Amino acid sequence: MDESLRKPPPRSWVQAWFDPRRRDLGTFAFVLNRVTALGLTLYLFLHLIMLGNLARGPEAYGRFLETIEHPVFVFGEYLVVLAGLIHGFNGIRIALTSFGIGVPYQKRIFVALMVIAAVAGVIFGVRMFAV
């Protein structure tokens, strides 16, 4: 068989950056923290824009409230709460390790705090979506 057929095609730096293989848990913690921060920042920006409807009067705000009762917006609210939990608990881990507390155990701390965030997210979701 020809040697050139066995080699994988060259990858660009973008493909290599998004490839999750051979990544450490700390990398996932870092990316998760950044993604949730961006999501929460976007939510804050949209939230402030939507609160501008209050200045347009009660009718405009009433229409806005009717719009956000749609299931897509309700699920988006759930994602905001979930992102807040994940970002907050990951921030606790970062604060602890920044002060030198639990540095050798930061992977275990990350996993434990993400399990707590997942459990809290499930509990919140059950209460939020219960009819």
- Tens digits of residue pLDDT in 50-96: 888 778 888 888 888 888 888 999 999 999 999 999 999 999 999 99
Confidence (pLDDT) at 9: 62
Quick check: 27 pLDDT over 90? no
Determine the Cα angle at 22 with ends 17 and 24, to 5°: 90
Nearest to 111 by CA among 1, 17, 26: 26
Arithmetic mean of pLDDT, 21-35: 88
Confidence (pLDDT) at 24: 86
What distance, in Å, lies between the first and last C-alpha atoms of the chain? Answer: 63
C-alpha–C-alpha distance, residues 96 and 69, integer Å: 39
Confidence (pLDDT) at 1: 54
Q: What is the dihedral of CA 27, 29, 31, 37, to 10 degrees?
A: -160
Would you tell me how many other CB atoms lie within 10 Å of the CB of residue 85?
Answer: 20
C-alpha–C-alpha distance, residues 131 and 40, integer Å: 27
- Supply the pTM of this predicted model: 0.79
Quick check: 11 pLDDT over 80? no
C-alpha–C-alpha distance, residues 109 and 96, integer Å: 10
CATH fold for domain 25-129: 3 helical TM bundles of succinate and fumarate reductases (1.20.1300)
